[in-house]
Structure 1
């Protein structure tokens, strides 16, 4: 294993341990605080086409954010991962009710079925204005520690080739997910900003 991979693996273990120690009430509190921060963020306010991840247990909860995207009449796109590769698309959701009917993956995340071709894919249409980024860890230079599959890195690479250009990328992080420095390689794409408590 390369030194970079070893460093990332060690850091993933450490951050997972810190987040696992968080009480559910504290996760909820930080998630609500970040949602309120986001709603005032100029990039969020001005964005019409927004990609949002459907959060897992160890991530900032995005439910309130998704509700607000629909309430504000913005377009909401969510990821569809292909588990056999690092390919991911962002597909449009029509409503909160639409989202509740989606099948769950082996990771227990809701996403449109592989054979569902009826939805608008963000990059084949008007692109995206803003992507809210999940991650296990973040540092304040825009480096992000993912789960090792490279879904978002390869997606951002595709975004940069879209006529609209790359959307603004905003990581959502619990305070416990902040790291002094995250080891990155050539394929790791930096994000524009990390939103966390105590900024």
Structure 2
């Protein structure tokens, strides 16, 4: 079953890549403007004090730079992904994990170098001085604090993905970083509000994202036309 699930996800990723490769840049710009306007007006965003924002690739997905700017201007604490290899992973841990580390300012964001996918990424040298969403500074090595401090954690996660469906299923890029990160959130300070701004990746009626027990569904999805859809509580 696991192999079959993996094959289904792989095939869907190929399909989405073909669609996205033909999508004009102007279309993504328009959908970015629509989706971001809706997100910034959402009560969950407006009330959030600590948020996580994925940093977008230069093409092929909705840009998050204006979200980062607005959140910092609103004096929210903004945490962004940093992936790294574990030193001696334990049973049940992947070889590589993702922590969320804090941005200090918008110039801090603008000064980041891009990784091999063109995504702005905090430098390795800066990590020890950055607050971690799980508490403290630096990396966690994939661990979760035994006694979670309610002052830590996140109020909202703005997540990336390749495809989404009407049941709030999400297809990631295949690395499993968010799946394991959300598992740790659940074990630590509780599950934050999970949302995504999307465009062409919203699947047609009758199509669904292949999901298993390790996958988490979204709480809300914003389409490229600015429409927001919410999962039932």
Give TM class, smaller chain.
over 0.9
Partner of 1:6: 7
Q: TM-score, normalised by structure 1?
A: 0.93
Cα deviation for residue 139 of structure 1 reads 0.9
Alignment partner for residue 192 of structure 1, among 212, 215, 219?
A: 219
| Aligned pairs for 1:88-107 within 5 A | 88-107=98-117
| Aligned pairs for 1:126-145 within 5 A | 126-145=152-171
Question: Structure 2: how far apart are the matches of 1:40 and 1:103?
Answer: 30
Cα deviation for residue 83 of structure 1 reads 6.0
| Aligned pairs for 1:151-170 within 5 A | 151-163=177-189, 165-170=190-195
- Indicate the larger mover: 99-108 or 54-63: 99-108
**CA deviation digits over 1:75-132, x for unaligned, max 9?**
1111001268340010100111011222332222221223420000011151100000
Cα deviation for residue 26 of structure 1 reads 0.7
Aligned-CA RMSD value: 1.6
The unaligned stretches of length 5 or more in structure 2 are: 87-94, 137-151, 228-233
Q: TM-score, normalised by structure 2?
A: 0.80
Question: Structure 2: how far apart are the matches of 1:160 and 1:2?
Answer: 26
Structure 1 runs (4+) deviating above 6 angstroms are none
Question: Structure 1: how far apart are the matches of 2:3 and 2:53?
Answer: 32
Radius of gyration: which is bigger? 2
Cα deviation for residue 189 of structure 1 reads 1.6
**Alignment length (residue pairs):** 197
The unaligned stretches of length 5 or more in structure 1 are: none
